[in-house]
A and B are shown apart, each in its own frame.
Chain A
Amino acid sequence: SQQGEEDPQALSIQEGENATMNCSYKTSINNLQWYRQNSGRGLVHLILIRSNEREKHSGRLRVTLDTSKKSSSLLITASRAADTASYFCATDADNQGGKLIFGQGTELSVKP
């Protein structure tokens, strides 16, 4: 079963613009992780935010977490063509042994 719902399903922007992707989930969590996947490849871990954290930065990435609304967002600033990929949020829910429940992903296209 899919816990995360991602919005939008697809996003097309110009190079240099910012991209925001949103993720909502249903149960209480230990942490939420964002991954990137290029077509036909494995998943690359981007960032992990714990349930007691509200915001985290890594380079051009900014992730926020609102546990009261059960939602998270991923912001990519100053996007590049190389950022074109699918982005997934995944939740590590309480008492679930660390297994991740993924959303369906946001397909980001950055046009040069």
Chain B
Amino acid sequence: DTGVSQDPRHKITKRGQNVTFRCDPISEHNRLYWYRQTLGQGPEFLTYFQNEAQLEKSRLLSDRFSAERPKGSFSTLEIQRTEQGDSAMYLCASSLMGDTQYFGPGTRLTVL
């Protein structure tokens, strides 16, 4: 499978815990994007990387959120001190520069 993969697919956690999600993009893609989607809404942009550089962060990304792409390949998104409002589907996408973005299956986070 040469598509975008995300791990885990589902995560249930208690409020206040930290969680980390991983995204593996399509291998030759230099751009990697994170989005968040809540029920009944379209995805909302969180942040993106070009190679290992994080070029933009949405104001949706509070101080509790951090993302990395240390070697310009896979990326991680960490949420510290989770809140119930963080419950959502977290989607990762990759592209070659500004071309078509290919999405992974998403990580569904439930914060109890």
Residues of A within 8 A of B (CB): 2, 4, 30-31, 33, 35, 40-45, 48, 88, 90, 92, 97-105
Contacts and interface: CB of A to CB of B under 8 A. Distances in A.
B31 interface: yes
B7 to A, nearest CB: 13
B100 interface: yes
A33 B42 contact: no
Nearest to B56: A97
A84 B32 CA distance: 29
Given A42-B103, A98-B48, A99-B33, A104 B42 contact: yes
Contacts of A4: 42
B98 A101 contact: no
Interface in B68-111: 89, 91, 93, 95, 97-106, 108
A43 B45 contact: no
B101 A33 contact: yes
Contacts of A105: 41-42
Given A97-B48, A99-B48, A43 B95 contact: no
Contact of A42 (B41, B42, B98, B104): B104
Given A30-B98, A33-B100, A45-B100, A101 B105 contact: no
Contacts of B91: 42-43
A32 to B, nearest CB: 12
A98 B98 CA distance: 5
Nearest to B108: A40
